[in-house]
Structure 1
Amino acid sequence: MEHKAYWALKFLNFDEAASREQRRLQLLELEEMRLTAYESSRLYKERVKAYHDKKLLKKNFQPVQQVLLFNSRLKLFPGKLKSKWSRPFTINKVRPYGAVELCNPC
């Protein structure tokens, strides 16, 4: 039985060093493909973020102006229609960098 295995390996030209080197090259290729995919994904995310940031409109709020509050953490349950927008609030004070103080609805 051993004799047949030897001839089968010889027939396939099985060289341990060559196969080891081939496997190492395949692993390097796989790593290169993974890094390329990671870089491609990062570039795509940057482009999408830049696109969405470009679409944002700058809002200048003034005291006594009424605004709706958007609750982004609200989870909608299936079958329930609940708005993510809260009742109108009045702006009390506008702080630097876009922060605003709200007071209870009038």
Structure 2
Amino acid sequence: MNLDTASAQRKLQLNELEEWRLNAYENNKLYKKKTKHWHDQHISKEDLVFGQKVLLFNSHLHLFPEKLKSRWSGPFNIKTIFPYGTVELTREDGTNTFKVNGQRVKPYFEDEMERQKSSLALREAS
């Protein structure tokens, strides 16, 4: 057991450990960069404008499991667009305003067709 060789060996181990740590740090940095790039590519960038009609995604609907019920509510009008994707919406009658994340809205396209409601009276079987 020579103390000089043991101390030299220990210094080499510490330097090797530091090299492993730096390598892991660089790999983590590359992983985060690639993950951010992938995430940014998959974000839908909708061009929303003031006064546009939009539908709002209702994320709390899964508490009431109804298969055929639409998860989109609205239409709403855009009142204000804030930086970083926040949108202030108002109901069509202008009574209620609230802010939501811009990722939760999608454009609403009105169709020009007139919709007619009809009812059919069923007679009682005799």
TM-score after normalising by structure 2: 0.52
Which structure's residues are more often strand, by fraction? Answer: 2
Q: Does 1:42 align with 2:29?
A: yes
Once the two structures are aligned, what percentage of the paired residues are identical? 36
* 1:59 matched residue in structure 2: 46
Which structure's residues are more often helix, by fraction? Answer: 1
SS in 1 for 2:44: coil
How many residues are aligned here?
A: 84
Alignment-mate amino acid for residue 65 of structure 1: K
* 1:19 matched residue in structure 2: 6
Give the direction of change, closer, same or farther, for the CA distance of 1:45–1:70 in structure 2 (3 Å limit).
Answer: farther
**1:34 Cα deviation from its structure 2 partner:** 0.8
* 2:117 matched residue in structure 1: none
**1:16 Cα deviation from its structure 2 partner:** 0.5
* 1:82 matched residue in structure 2: 63
Unaligned runs of 5+ in 1: 1-13, 75-80
Q: Which has the larger radius of gyration?
A: 1
